[in-house]
Amino acid sequence: MEKLVLTEEETMLADMARGYLDGAAPVAKLRKMRDANETHDAALWKEMAEMGWAGVLVPEAQGGSDMGYAAANVLAREMGKTLTVSPFISSAVIAATALRQVADARAEAALARIAAGEATYALAVDEGIKFDPEATQMTARADGNGFRLSGKKQFVVDGAMADRLLVLARTENGLTLFDIPADRAGVTRDRSNMIDARDAARITFDDVEATGEDVLGQVDQAMNVLKPALMAGQGALAAEMTGLAAGAFDMTVGYIKERKQFGVEIARFQALQHRAAHLWCEIEVTASAILNAGRMMDADPENAALAVSLAKARATQTATLAVQEGVQMHGGIGMTDAYDMGFYMKRARVGAEWLGDYSYHAEQVAAARGF
């Protein structure tokens, strides 16, 4: 049985990413972006593309590094530690995976643009208060040789800055996935004020024209393309949240080693030691689940759903525990904006909802196990 630990190559990738992100995208940068009301750093994304991160899942023939899902999750976890703001999950993971399901020249050209950092994507799926792609009500009405898209999408992460949108709509006999420019006539994007200071939008489609070439995959068969992309995104998001938990844990341990009470560092208090040890164990177990999900996606994507949902459910639970313990162990100052722990808590809350919350993935795990 393969051990669920990083390989030598994955360790080197993580170390390289950590060295870059600590300097280029620390939490302090997120604070500055929040204060300046900025939600995208184009220069940072360009640098990531130059390092090959944007093309981590893009075939070498299209200019990518094609390192696989386990490697993508390694990068996502390191980004989570410093709450890096980038379209990595939306573009390099979700969109790249969707495009890889379609073997045509148009998809290959789009993959090349993603790898080069020349195109960013956002996934427009959510319509209600919870993640439920199968319940999509947005319509794609047949119009000659094309379609007319009408409806609304919300919680579109990276939706305000993306160049292109992957849009799920209901056609006559099922669901169809469209790949359209974000500035097409009839598309209105309203930026959402996300609590974690990351880009998101509510998007209205008012009789938007879509041609047959805009269909990604086959008409009425969206899930053949979208399901692998969703699993890839869920796995990478779980990895990011596990990195978030590790970042919050490191910050908390650093604080309790310095904070004194009655002249003694509070890290010497046995109760806090027990809580810190419990959190560390939870993070390590969840990290193993993330590794398993990435390797299942690489080796056997048709049967990876259970591993991915388990990873996302555990990551949600672990990140929530990490930020709650972080705030409590920081005491009253943990609730203030002067300390960075609040940024971790807000990101954890948004990550918990994106691409399916704990209940959604717990139900998926239960169903896969026959309950």
The domain that contains 178 carries what CATH number? 2.40.110.10
CA atoms within 13 A on the CB side of 365: 17
Cβ proximity of 227 and 330 under 8 Å: no
| Count of domains observed in the chain | 3
Whether residue 358 sits in one domain with residue 235: yes
Whether residue 233 sits in one domain with residue 216: no
Residue 1 included in any domain: no
What is the C-alpha separation between 235 and 113, in angstroms, rounded?
23
pLDDT higher for 268 or 94? Answer: 94
The CATH number covering residue 252 comes to 1.20.140.10
Whether residue 161 sits in one domain with residue 103: no
What is the C-alpha separation between 322 and 244, in angstroms, rounded?
8
Whether residue 290 sits in one domain with residue 156: no
Residue 132 included in any domain: yes
- What is the domain extent for residue 311? 223-368
What is the C-alpha separation between 94 and 78, in angstroms, rounded?
18
Element (H, E) at 139: strand 139-143
Whether residue 98 sits in one domain with residue 66: yes
pLDDT digits (tens, 9 = 90+) for 29-61: 999 999 999 999 999 999 999 999 999 999 999
pTM for the predicted model, two decimal places: 0.96
Whether residue 276 sits in one domain with residue 160: no
Is it the case that residue 23 has pLDDT exceeding 70? yes
> Phi, psi at residue 109, to the nearest 5°?
-65, -40
pLDDT digits (tens, 9 = 90+) for 158-199: 999 999 999 999 999 999 999 999 999 999 999 988 899 899
Whether residue 256 sits in one domain with residue 210: no
Whether residue 322 sits in one domain with residue 189: no
End-to-end CA distance of the chain: 26
